[in-house]
Amino acid sequence: MIEQFGRAGFLLIFAIAFPLIPIAASVALGVFRIRPRKPDPIKSSVYECGMVPVGDALVRYNVRYYLFALLFVVFDVEAVFLYPWAVAYRALGVYAFVEALIFIAILFVGYVYAWRKRAMEWI
């Protein structure tokens, strides 16, 4: 059993070394003056997919988004479960159909609850 943990340990060492090697190489090349060093404001700014960055990344998000995120997760998980079921529908048969209905019914209860609690209104 130890050998199997050893393989995982090898992966761990590799995973730590992998990002460290380029950084170390960059520093070493700079020290030995092989890498040119010509910074300018555009080069040293944050890379935002080519856009000019606006403002600070550490802004406060309104807590209201949290409710929407939570509701999104509910329906996201529903889609994740229903896709494989829909693909394999013919093979699974009636039993899985009833199970999927029960699953949807449970989610529906949560949906009605969120609706009645006015979680979907922008207060």
Partner 1 sequence: MNFDYTLFIPEFMLGGLAALVVALDLFMPQLRKSWLPYVAATGLAITAGVSLAWVNKQTNFAGIVSIDNYTTYFRVFFMLIAAVVCLASGRLVEDQLRHPGEYFGIIILSTIGAIGMAAARELMTAYLSLELLSFSLYILVSFAKFDARSNEAGLKYLLLGAFSSAMFLYGLSLIYGVTGSTYYGDIASALSRGTHDFSFALLMALVLIIAGLGFKVAAVPFHMWTPDAYEGAPIAITAYLSTTSKAAGFALLLRLFGGAFQVVHDDWSWMIAGVAAASMILGNLVALQQHNIKRLMAYSSIGQIGYLLMGVAGLSHNTASALVLHLTGYMVTNLALFVVIIAWYNLTGKEEIVDFRGMRERAPLLAGALAGALFSLAGLPLFAGFVTKFILFQAATDQGYYWLAGIGVVTSVISLYYYLQVMREAFVSQPAEGERKLQVPYVMQGLTVALMAGVFYVGLYPANLFSVIDNATRFLFV
Q: Which residues pair with 51 in a beta bridge?
A: 48
Count residues near partner 1 (CB under 8 A).
5
Rounded to whole angstroms, what are the CA distances from 36 to 29, 30, 73, 80? 9, 7, 48, 49
Residue 60 binds partner 1, judged by CB under 8 A: no
Which one-letter DSSP state was computed for residue 45?
S
Out of 116, 121, 122, 123, name the contact with partner 1 by CB under 8 A. Answer: 116
Residue 64 binds partner 1, judged by CB under 8 A: no
Q: Tell me the closest approach of the beta carbon of residue 24 to partner 1, in angstroms.
A: 34
Residue 8 binds partner 1, judged by CB under 8 A: no
Residue 109 binds partner 1, judged by CB under 8 A: yes
Out of 1, 21, 31, 42, name the contact with partner 1 by CB under 8 A. Answer: 1
CA dist., res. 120 & res. 75, Å (int): 14
Out of 29, 68, 96, 117, name the contact with partner 1 by CB under 8 A. Answer: 117
CA dist., res. 81 & res. 78, Å (int): 5
CA dist., res. 3 & res. 8, Å (int): 9
Q: Which residues bind partner 1 (CB under 8 A)?
A: 1, 109, 113, 116-117
